[in-house]
Amino acid sequence: MTGGAVLKAASAGARRRLVQSAVVFVVVTVAATASLLGLTMLTSANEAFQTAFTVRHGAHLAVTVDAAKVTGGELARTRHLPGVTQAAGPYPETTISLSISIPGHSIPAGMNSGSGLTVVGRASRSGPLDGITQNTGRWATREGEIDLAIYSPVRGPIGRLATATVTSVPGKPKLPIAGYASSVVQDEDGWVVPSEITALEKAGAPAQEQMLYTFRDAATPAQISADLAELKAALPAGAVTSYVSWLNTEHNLAAVQGVTAPFLAAYAVIGVLLAVVIIASVVAAAVAASYHRIGVLKSIGFTPAQVVASCLAQLGIPALAGAVAGAAVGSRWVLPMIDTGPFHISVGVPVWISVSVPLGMCAVAGLAALVPAVRAGRLRAVQAITAGQAPRPRRGHAAHRLAGRLKLPRPASLGLAAPFSRPAPALATVAVIAFGLAAVVLGVGLDSQMTQIVFSSGWATIGVSLARRLTLLVAVLAALGVFSLVLMLARQRAHDLAVFKALGMTPRQVIITVTCWIIAPAVAAAVIALPAGVALEGAVARAVVSQQASPQAQAPPGGAQRPRVPPQGAHPSLPPQGGHIVSRTRLGPGGRLGPGGRLGPGGRVGSGAPAGLAHVYSPGVLALLALAGLAIAAAGALGPATWAAASKTTTALHAE
Amino acid sequence: MDALIQLSEVTKRYAAGGAPALDHVSLMVAPGEAVAVMGPSGSGKSTLLNLVAGLDKPTSGTVTVAGQRVDALSETRLARYRRRQVGMIFQFFNLLEDLTVADNVLLPAQLAGTPRRKARARCGQLLAQLGIAKYRDSYPGRLSGGERQRVAIARALVNDPAVLLADEPTGAVDSATGEEIGKLLLELNAAGQTLVLVTHSPDLAARYAQRTVRLVDGRIAAGTPSGTAAGPRPEAGARP
């Protein structure tokens, strides 16, 4: 017997069991897509920033100068300093206080007002340096409107629904929000047309201008310090009032990466475990359904090893196709649709991920298939043939007796008791729903806590968005898992279902019976997943908080030269949790750090667990989450139930 | 006498353009009659039974049972029709291994919404009548073939169907048990139960049916009466 015969038997088997092959293909595809996305997002955040910096012509240094102390000629001369490679500006700049209100609505505290907000006058989003990314809405093109930075502490709806009032100037002008945008350097909280700046300047406040520079050497804090020193030396004393380095933004992004890493890892683990359970269950069911065929193969001379190889190859074909398709779908179509940051820059998938994900998924599928395949290989031919025909010893008699006594319609009680007859697939169903529900519990928890535990509302939005997408992906995978398992069960129990129908069960009653198969597993899953999900969310939240509290997240490289300004320092009106990720170094007289540049008490953002951590899950929320598990399961079961209701009775009845 | 079952020019093809499993078959069965359908494998016996049971639909022609056009019913109405009008007995019993004997028998009544007490009483009566009352809490896997077929017969009768359809009811049991099953069917028919029996056995057909319909290649063989018999077996005390 040659390997060709094994392959031929395997490919014929894969074609014959199209539904099982399709299920393995789809599950592996989704799992591979999820793994590729997770790994890429986990490892490529810095690459995304570097790409954005290049594409958007980011500036190494954004410098604010006191316009009263410097002339246009002096500023122009800085373009030709030895270390400077490119410069842009001056753009008029001012500092404002902003308050947002919506008639009849309340905006969360910390997001409805802000002071010390830097607003720059830019006629256009594009420019030689620091191209602005429009995240939502449109660019402010006329006086009387403002674009806010997505990392700005104030938020409000776009348009005239909300009123953004500039409270720092007399007359308190109102500026509708035209849109939200992002700068790579993150020097500004908002942009207006240049002619608007004068109207926003406080009486008596020094006129400010923003200059943007790139330098020959700006890769390290020391080089940035040297560049700054060169600039200051070229300008009158005290002309440079503050600056923002690109290294701050990079550092903040690294901190955000650290913040997202715990929950990305949690979702990745859940996703991979889910894929393993689904694949193992589907493969076990497929092998069990092939026992008769395995018996025939043995009777014509297949050795146990060839049977194992045939089983593995039969499932390996759709698994390999799914792994490759998942990696391709993830990198070609899904990843570009996901904003990995505020700059709308999609990252490339590293080669090692493109290679390791398909290989890993194939390995997972192979390992999952190995146990049932080896068991099939060890069966004697007669045993295998009869195992495919004779009724199997049943379990769950007590459950059926108990369910029969319930005052429920008989189709429902039959469905409720059914999982106890086949414990292995029932346990797999419990596991799949539990993983899906745990992901939802984690997602709900992170959704409500992210704004509290991440130190910038803008980054919190990105984190929440990421968590929501991952939750959806895992929930879809879980529903797909339930679909696969219930479909396999429905095929295994096709004969029983046909008997039900022959005895007078209507199609609707068949759907009820099959859908009820998942109720007991869903209840068991809820019992496991709710506390597990809550515990996981707590662990992830603590990990996020500890990431923020870590020295790397607390202080940007360069230590005192670019200290993180405490939220209170930058925005006194904000509560500690509504802080600001941009560290803007303000220089006092003589270029020394001003009061706002020092870390004050409580300035260590996220240094302790936020007060709300323990109160995310109210009993009502938990009840809703339990129902969510049931919904995931029902969504997965409905398709196979409908298939079972529509399947041909006579074929199943005579398939003895 | 009005026919309880009437097939008119029934054709059934499983594949378009393929040979018909039934080819323009017309047949009438009177109330209380016992009809045996015989023929070689692939002659269309089981197809005919499935059409009468409403488990399948004809490609053309009409199937009328108890005045109801079975071929025109929706799936839901077909299910209700099966509950009320048809009891089926299969060669391999088709009992549900998860359920006790009593639960197997009760199931059609529960699906039909029969009050619990009434259903239990009917179940108890049938189990006693068929001599299997002591197995009511047993599971089918522990019963012999004959006992299983008795359970299947009890299940088929629990809703007092108009027609009892038996597909090779003795095919999976030994000859002594087959004899017992045959006698049981005879008794049921004698009590007025209309019976359509598919069998390979000429002996069973001759002994337990008043009329034999022979199918060959999907057609009723020449010389086989397709109309109702003149009347029920004299000794059967058939329903008028």
ipTM: 0.82
Lookup: tokens for A587: 């220089």
CB count within 10 Å of CB A7 equals 15
* Closest residue to A504, CB basis, from B80, B95, B100: B80
Min Cα distance A398 → chain B (Å) is: 9
Q: What does DSSP say about strands B194-199 and A585-586: parallel, antiparallel, or unpaired?
A: unpaired
Is the whole-model pTM more than 0.90?
no
In a domain, A313, yes or no: yes
Min Cα distance A337 → chain B (Å) is: 45
Q: Do B83 and A501 touch (CB under 8 A)?
A: no
B86-89, strands of its sheet edge to edge: B86-89, B163-167, B194-199, B34-38, B211-216, B219-220
Q: Is B240 helix (H, G, I), strand (E, B) or coil?
A: coil
* Closest residue to A506, CB basis, from B56, B79, B92: B79
In a domain, A464, yes or no: yes
- Any CB–CB contact under 8 A between B50 and chain A? yes
Instruction: Select from A42, A23, A34 the least CA-distant residue to A327.
Output: A34
Q: How many domains does chain A have?
A: 2
Task: Give the C-alpha separation, A482 to A561, whole Å.
Answer: 55
Task: Give the C-alpha separation, A647 to A650, whole Å.
Answer: 9
Task: Give the C-alpha separation, A130 to A168, whole Å.
Answer: 27
Q: Do A391 and B112 touch (CB under 8 A)?
A: no
How far is the first Cα of chain B from the last one, in angstroms, to the nearest whole number?
A: 8
pLDDT attached to residue A105: 64
A439 and A324 assigned to the same domain: yes
Nearest 10 degrees: Cα torsion B155, B156, B161, B164: -160
How would you class A45 by CB atoms within 10 Å of its CB: exposed for 0-12, middle for 13-18, buried for 19 or more? buried
* Closest residue to A501, CB basis, from B79, B98, B112: B79
Please write the tens of the pLDDT for every residue from B137-179. Answer: 999 888 988 899 999 999 999 999 999 999 988 887 888 888 8
Angle formed by the axes of helices A423-453 and A246-289, to 10°? Answer: 170
Inter-residue contact A191 to A132 (CB < 8 Å): yes
pLDDT attached to residue A341: 56
In a domain, A246, yes or no: no
What one-character-per-residue DSSP string does B98-123 give? TS-HHHHHHHHHHHTT--HHHHHHHH
Of A179, A211, A243, the last residue of a domain is A211
What one-character-per-residue DSSP string does A282-302 give? HHHHHHHHTHHHHHHHHHTT-
pLDDT attached to residue A613: 47
Instruction: Select from A90, A139, A126, A96 the least CA-distant residue to A114.
Output: A96
Q: Do B50 and A650 touch (CB under 8 A)?
A: yes
How would you class A122 by CB atoms within 10 Å of its CB: exposed for 0-12, middle for 13-18, buried for 19 or more? buried
A292 and A414 assigned to the same domain: yes
Residues of A with a Cβ under 8 Å from any B Cβ are: 391, 393-394, 396-397, 400-401, 404, 410-411, 417-418, 421, 495-496, 499-509, 648-650, 653-654, 656
Any idea what DSSP says for residue A105?
A: B
Cβ neighbours for A49, distance < 8 A, ≥ 6 positions apart: A184, A249, A250, A253, A341, A343
Residue bearing tokens 């809820």 = A526
In a domain, A434, yes or no: yes
* Closest residue to B55, CB basis, from A410, A502, A506: A502
A312 and A402 assigned to the same domain: yes
Inter-residue contact A377 to A305 (CB < 8 Å): yes
Min Cα distance A410 → chain B (Å) is: 6
How would you class A563 by CB atoms within 10 Å of its CB: exposed for 0-12, middle for 13-18, buried for 19 or more? buried
Q: Do A508 and B76 touch (CB under 8 A)?
A: yes
A274 and A193 assigned to the same domain: no
In a domain, A74, yes or no: no
Q: Which B-chain residues 122-151 have CB contacts (< 8 A) with chain A?
A: 139, 141
A198 and A264 assigned to the same domain: no
Q: Do A509 and B92 touch (CB under 8 A)?
A: no
What averages of pLDDT result for each successive group of 10 residues across chain A (656 residues)?
67 72 83 78 68 78 82 81 82 83 63 75 82 80 82 68 75 81 78 83 80 83 82 80 79 68 77 80 77 77 82 83 87 64 65 86 83 80 61 70 85 90 86 88 76 52 69 82 85 86 91 91 91 86 69 42 30 30 42 31 33 63 84 86 86 60
What one-character-per-residue DSSP string does B173-236 give? S-HHHHHHHHHHHHHHHHTT-EEEEEES-HHHHHHH-SEEEEEETTEEPTT---S--SSS-GGG
- For residue A481, give the amino acid letter: G
Tell me the Cα Rg of chain B: 17
pLDDT attached to residue A108: 59
Task: Give the C-alpha separation, B23 to B10, whole Å.
Answer: 7
Q: Do B107 and A391 touch (CB under 8 A)?
A: no
Residues of A in contact with B44 (CB under 8 A): none
Instruction: Select from A409, A344, A56, A171 the least CA-distant residue to B111.
Output: A409
Q: From 3.40.50.300, 3.30.465.10, 3.40.190.10, 3.40.50.1100, which CATH number describes the B5-94+161-230 domain?
A: 3.40.50.300
What one-character-per-residue DSSP string does B9-42 give? EEEE-SSTTS--SEEEEEEEE-TT-EEEEE-STT
A48 and A151 assigned to the same domain: no
pLDDT attached to residue A48: 67
What averages of pLDDT result for each successive group of 10 residues across chain B (240 residues)?
89 88 94 92 90 92 94 90 91 86 92 90 92 92 89 93 91 82 88 91 85 92 59 36
How many angstroms separate the most distant Cα atoms in chain A? Answer: 98
* Closest residue to B111, CB basis, from A404, A509, A649: A509
Inter-residue contact A505 to A51 (CB < 8 Å): no
* Cis ω for the linkage preceding A507 (within 30 of 0): no
- Any CB–CB contact under 8 A between B45 and chain A? no
Q: Is A97 left (phi over 0), alpha (psi -120 to 50) or beta?
A: beta
Inter-residue contact B155 to A500 (CB < 8 Å): no
- Any CB–CB contact under 8 A between B14 and chain A? no
Alpha carbon of B225 to those of A273, B211, B229: distances in Å? 67, 8, 8
In a domain, A350, yes or no: yes
A137 and A40 assigned to the same domain: no
Task: Give the C-alpha separation, A624 to A620, whole Å.
Answer: 6
A370 and A419 assigned to the same domain: yes
How many residues make up chain A in this entry?
656
Residues of B in contact with A391 (CB under 8 A): 97, 141
- Any CB–CB contact under 8 A between B79 and chain A? yes
Inter-residue contact A209 to A91 (CB < 8 Å): yes
A302 and A355 assigned to the same domain: yes
Task: Give the C-alpha separation, A587 to A590, whole Å.
Answer: 8
Min Cα distance B3 → chain A (Å) is: 23
Task: Give the C-alpha separation, B31 to A56, whole Å.
Answer: 89
In a domain, A383, yes or no: yes
A205 and A263 assigned to the same domain: no
How many angstroms separate the most distant Cα atoms in chain B? Answer: 52
Residues of A in contact with B48 (CB under 8 A): none
What one-character-per-residue DSSP string does A447-493 give? HHHHHHHSS-HHHHHHHHHHHHHHHHHHHHHHHHHHHHHHHHHHHHT
Range of the domain at A106: 89-211
Q: What does DSSP say about strands B211-216 and B34-38: parallel, antiparallel, or unpaired?
A: parallel
Of A211, A234, A262, the last residue of a domain is A211
pLDDT attached to residue B179: 84
Instruction: Select from A118, A103, A195, A121 the least CA-distant residue to A154.
Output: A118
Min Cα distance A21 → chain B (Å) is: 26
Inter-residue contact B104 to B172 (CB < 8 Å): no
In a domain, A595, yes or no: no
Instruction: Select from B18, B1, B5 the least CA-distant residue to B218.
Output: B18
Nearest CA in chain A to B92: A656
Task: Give the C-alpha separation, A189 to A107, whole Å.
Answer: 18
* Closest residue to B76, CB basis, from A401, A410, A507: A507
Cβ neighbours for A390, distance < 8 A, ≥ 6 positions apart: none
Of A211, A243, A273, the last residue of a domain is A211
Instruction: Select from A167, A180, A70 the least CA-distant residue to A117.
Output: A167
How far is the first Cα of chain A from the last one, in angstroms, to the nearest whole number?
A: 31
CB count within 10 Å of CB B174 equals 12
pLDDT attached to residue B69: 95
Residue bearing tokens 């299969």 = B90
Nearest CA in chain B to A406: B116
Q: Do B98 and A507 touch (CB under 8 A)?
A: no
Residues of A in contact with B107 (CB under 8 A): 410, 500, 503
Residues of B in contact with A507 (CB under 8 A): 75-76, 79
Min Cα distance A392 → chain B (Å) is: 9
A390 and A473 assigned to the same domain: yes
Min Cα distance A642 → chain B (Å) is: 13
List the beta bridge partners of residue A137.
A179
Min Cα distance B230 → chain A (Å) is: 32
A18 and A113 assigned to the same domain: no
* Closest residue to A496, CB basis, from B96, B100, B103: B96
How many residues make up chain B in this entry?
240
**A-B C-beta contacts closer than 8 Å:** 82
Alpha carbon of B116 to those of A455, A502, A564, A610, B136: distances in Å? 64, 21, 75, 58, 16
